[in-house]
A and B are shown apart, each in its own frame.
Chain A
Amino acid sequence: MIAFWLVLLLPVAGSMLLALTSSLVVSGWLNVFFCALEFLASLWLAVLVHAGGSLAVAGFQIDAFNVYLIMLTTFVGLTTAIFSRPYMKDVCEQGRLTRQRMRLYHAMFQMFLFTMLLALASDNLGILWVAVEGATLATVLLVSLYRTPESIEAAWKYFILCGVGIALALFGTVLVYFAAQQVLPDAEAGLSWRVLYQHAGELDPRVMSIAFVFLLVGYGTKVGLVPMHFWLPDAHSEGPTPVSAVLSGLLLNVALYAVVRFKMLVDGSLHSTDMPAMAGMLMMGFGLLSFMVAVLSLQRQRDIKRMFSYSSIEHMGLMTFAFGMGGPLATFAGLLHMLVHSLTKSAIFVTVGHASHIAGTQRIEHIRGLIRTQPGVGWGLLIGVAAIAGFPPFGVFTSEFLILSATIQSWPWLTVLLLSGLGIAFAGLFRNVQPMVYGAAPEGQSAVSANMLPVLVHLLAVLWLGLAIPAVLYGWLNEVTLLIAGEGL
């Protein structure tokens, strides 16, 4: 109980306090301090849930699935805060930001974490929606933080596209509520996941399938699924780097979490109709399309952050595909991929932030000789890219291997597409990264003050997950798989 309220309310307290703190040094440390407290609280919560199976507090429901994502959220939040402290101080000292906007930045960083945690913990579909929309509102001013014409345009696109998407998701939510009211004795409870899962079989399959289309398109916009992905590269490339790291590592995951929850519900409802796997097929289609389009678009990017944001779309597509395929193996692989992708991608964005500070630009052709100038950043980028491209022995290799095995079992022909896509992505990433890290550094390029600790911790964790998944984590992910797919590995 206490652990739960701490997890949820610490970010709110942090946000208010940070909005009032004007000293740069203090607010940077305060942000780290609050993120550390949130991580510890979520650790405590995870231990409680692990011992008791699940935890229900008025209007909230914590089970294995969301506590796993809550921990991931607070962990990535903490490491990003550690990175952002010296980074944003640098940015501020360069004169790109005023004190007032730094206050906005810190307050909204905590507010964003709060909306993510609220979305994950809530038992109520409506509150989930409110929280995901709240996350857009909290981050939209962060994307335009530098107030350049480009960043304002990116923020506007982000605002409008996600707003529209999320509006369609609300329509889907209303339809689900409508379907629930026809069968539930207590109509007011028709928005609770717990109640809905118990009555999933009775919900009208026709209404539920229309609802799922709206929900998939709506929350899919936030996942970054093609063709609703246009906001993602812009928002990632124009916003400050810590914001790109949390958007890529956390926001996309939470949106996918919502989609997977709804899929579980719709699967239950369509169980006895002639199209039992409708939801899964839709997710597979959108996932595969996003994967292929992102892999191809990645090739022609000139901006380093844009390139990695397309890589995020690629991986989100792959996860959506895996969850759509269903079955214990694919679901387990999707969960593992969620974990390793978040860790790796936020590490990469942190490194990219330092790299673009060193070079003074985000254009790929002007970033050269990173290893010569600052070995830590250069090697960090190289290893991070190796990890995200699916090189063994990193964790991404394990999860992609599992996704491929599951595909071979149920859709053998699609393995060809997946494998060639992974190959093309690999080629595109390395073609661009190799000259950036090796090669001669331009004259006058000097090292910046960089904190590579978050990168090191993330990449070591990904390496560990690739070499051996700890028994605790395996049991935990298996429990989640049991929850989603109905059977464990």
Chain B
Amino acid sequence: MNMSHLPLLQQGIAVLAALVLFTSFALLAQTRLTSAIHSFAWQGAGVALVTALVAYSSHTSHLYLSAALTLGLKSLLIPWMLHRLVRQLNMERLVENIAHPAVLLLTGAALVIFSYWVSLPIEKLGLGDTRNIVAISLSVVLLGLWMMVSRRQVIAQVLGFMSMENGLFLAAVASTRGMPLVVELGVAFDVLVAAVLFGIFFFHISESIESLDVDRLNRLSEREEHS
């Protein structure tokens, strides 16, 4: 597929989607929490911009609303909440130690290739650029998942979780011009409630184990049952 054959708007969408993928990698390897939150905010802004472009190119007016919602929620409100929490918990200067950054990023790259492989059948439908977008959004989802698995800080896990949501939203917008408005409002509501609950949990966890390191959340393992 040759990019230059696509209309300008489509090219713009593809470039922005690639930028969203880039922020995913930035999130994955970012050791400073505050910078990771910034990367997440940029990712939200990228998704919102893609949504606005899709709305403009397909003349779907309700997508403008979704774009505004995403911008407000994912790139302003949630990052602001996380920032405040980090300040309250005195973790601004915290730098997380990543054991093998190269392995982390290479696995991420492998996940992107895997996503392209999974979305091969969609290419056969002959819908031009859709496959690229589906593959990129699946990559963002899987990279978020990988971040949750590999990072040890609770806040990093939450960022991974939220960036998974970004990937899902991108998939919905780019491949189907957005879900119906009711569903999108419902999903946004769930994300908002989840963000609030995460905040509540930070305090509970830091009270109960005096740290936000998930390695210390190990009271309930099966191995303990033996001892």
Contact = CB atoms under 8 A, between A and B. Distances in A.
A155 B141 CA distance: 23
A181 interface: yes
A152 to B, nearest CB: 5
B157 A149 contact: no
A149 B205 CA distance: 8
Given A127-B186, A129-B186, 20 more contacts: A124-B182, A126-B179, A126-B180, A130-B190, A137-B194, A144-B204, A149-B208, A152-B205, A152-B208, A159-B198, A163-B161, A167-B161, A170-B168, A171-B167, A171-B168, A174-B175, A174-B176, A187-B176, A190-B176, A306-B225
B168 A159 contact: no
B205 A156 contact: yes
Contact of A174 (B172, B189, B204, B226): B172
A130 B186 contact: yes
A178 B180 contact: no
- Looking at A124, A168, A171, the one whose CB has the most chain B CB atoms below 10 A away is A171
A210 B120 CA distance: 10
A121 interface: no
Contacts of A144: 201, 204
Contact of A154 (B165, B182, B193, B220): B220
B157 A147 contact: no
A171 B175 contact: no
Given A144-B204, A153-B217, A177 B118 contact: no
B124 interface: yes
Contacts, number: 134
Interface in A183-204: 187-188, 190-191, 204
Interface of A: 59, 124, 126-127, 129-130, 133-134, 137, 140-141, 144, 147-150, 152-157, 159-160, 163-164, 167-168, 170-171, 174-175, 177-178, 181-182, 187-188, 190-191, 204, 206-207, 210, 234, 237-238, 297, 300-303, 306
A206 B187 contact: no
Contacts of B171: 171, 174
Interface of B: 118-119, 121-122, 124-125, 127, 130, 134, 137-138, 141, 145, 148, 154, 157, 161, 164-165, 167-168, 171-172, 175-177, 179-180, 182-183, 186-187, 189-190, 193-194, 197-198, 200-201, 204-205, 208-209, 214, 217-220, 222, 225-226
A180 to B, nearest CB: 9
A229 B168 CA distance: 23
Nearest to B205: A152
A156 B217 contact: yes
B220 A234 contact: yes
7 contacts: A126-B183, A130-B186, A137-B193, A137-B197, A156-B217, A167-B164, A300-B226
Contacts of A168: 141
Contacts of A207: 121-122, 125
Contacts of B194: 133, 137, 163
Contacts of A300: 222, 225-226
A153 B216 CA distance: 10
A160 B194 CA distance: 10
- Looking at B118, B130, B175, the one whose CB has the most chain A CB atoms below 10 A away is B175
A167 B141 contact: yes
A238 B141 contact: no
Contacts of B197: 137, 140-141, 159
B88 to A, nearest CB: 18
B126 to A, nearest CB: 10
Contact of A171 (B121, B138, B190, B217): B138
Contacts of B138: 171
B157 to A, nearest CB: 7
